[in-house]
Homo-oligomer: A and B are copies of this chain.
Amino acid sequence: MRTLDPRLAADTHVMGFFGDTQVLLLRNAHYPWLVLVPDTDETEFHRLPLAAQSELMALASRLAVFIENWQPLDKVNIAAIGNVVSQMHLHVVGRRCDDPCWPGVVWGAEPFKAYEAEALDTLRSRLVAEVGEDYRPIAQLDLKKAT
């Protein structure tokens, strides 16, 4: 498994893995904002094999439904950007008409709001219960121990 880019690691909580794809949660409780990191050296989404693209979008879609069930949402934004961090990653961001930067995009926007540790545990449990058996939860602390 490839090492997580240090900026992605600093900005997120590790939620776990779906197969070889790592699922991160942005350290910003203003939006349910997940980041999927497939285990690849390719940096451009459009150069992934089509099967890998489809697999990643299918997982993004499952997680989009998950965040819709977690919080009332008006929109889900799904994006492969990567201008700052080149390691392949896909954003799945839940948006509400009353969130801090609606209707603008979240990238580059303020403000940030921390999650409580309990909220993260609850979220991991919900991922296990609602998203499926191929999910392996892992906490940042466990990841640090493991590496």
Contact = CB atoms under 8 A, between A and B. Distances in A.
Given A75-B44, A78-B45, A82-B75, A53 B54 contact: yes
A83 B82 CA distance: 20
A32 to B, nearest CB: 13
Interface residues of A, number: 30
Chain A binding surface, main DSSP class: mixed
* Assembly stoichiometry (copies): 2
Contacts of A107: 104-105
Contacts of A57: 50, 53-54, 57
B81 A105 contact: yes
A84 interface: yes
Nearest to A84: B103
A131 interface: no
A118 to B, nearest CB: 28
B65 A61 contact: no
Interface string A95-121: 100000011110110000000000000
Given A44-B76, A45-B76, A50-B57, 5 more contacts: A45-B64, A53-B58, A57-B57, A77-B81, A77-B83
